[in-house]
């Protein structure tokens, strides 16, 4: 990866720092849980407060099973993972492309002036 690409990714991260930090943390915690059985995930506040599971409970477990390529266990943990992963990937792609177009337009307007 050349330095321009790294710089562009850093600018994208900086523009979306809160969202990117949360997503990176969730991804890191899922990878650690899938590979080393280290659980640093955020506990479900809904379950802690109300003592029953919310529709999102089991999502991290389902994602961990998907990382291990165990589709059946991912389906058992939370079936919504099969909607969330493609939706999140699509959102990230469209957001990145929008950022790229906006940054390219800003760069071109700066070079013209």
Determine the angle formed by the axes of helices 59-67 and 17-36, rounding to 10 degrees: 60
Question: How many domains does the chain divide into?
Answer: 1
Position 113 scores a pLDDT of 56
103 in a structural domain: yes
- Nearest CA to 61 among 86, 46, 42? 42
Could you tell me the mean pLDDT of each successive run of 10 residues in the chain, 113 residues long?
A: 77 84 86 85 81 83 90 94 92 88 72 59
Alpha-carbon span 51 to 48, nearest angstrom:
6
Position 78 scores a pLDDT of 92
21 in a structural domain: yes
Query: pLDDT tens digit string along 78-100?
Result: 999 999 999 989 988 898 888 88
Residue 44 contacts residue 57 (beta carbons within 8 Å): yes
Domain that holds residue 90: 3-108
113 in a structural domain: no
């Amino acid at each position: 990866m050349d330095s321009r690409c790294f710089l562009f990714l850093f600018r994208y991260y900086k523009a979306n720092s809160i969202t990117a930090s949360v997503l990176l943390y969730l991804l890191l915690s899922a990878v650690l849980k899938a590979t080393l059985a280290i659980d640093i995930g955020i506990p479900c506040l809904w379950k802690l407060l109300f003592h029953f599971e919310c529709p999102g409970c089991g999502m991290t477990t389902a994602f961990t099973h998907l990382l291990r390529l165990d589709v059946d266990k991912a389906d058992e943990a939370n079936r919504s993972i099969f909607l969330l992963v493609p939706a999140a990937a699509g959102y990230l792609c469209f957001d990145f492309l929008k950022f790229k177009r906006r940054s390219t337009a800003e760069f071109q307007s700066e070079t013209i002036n």
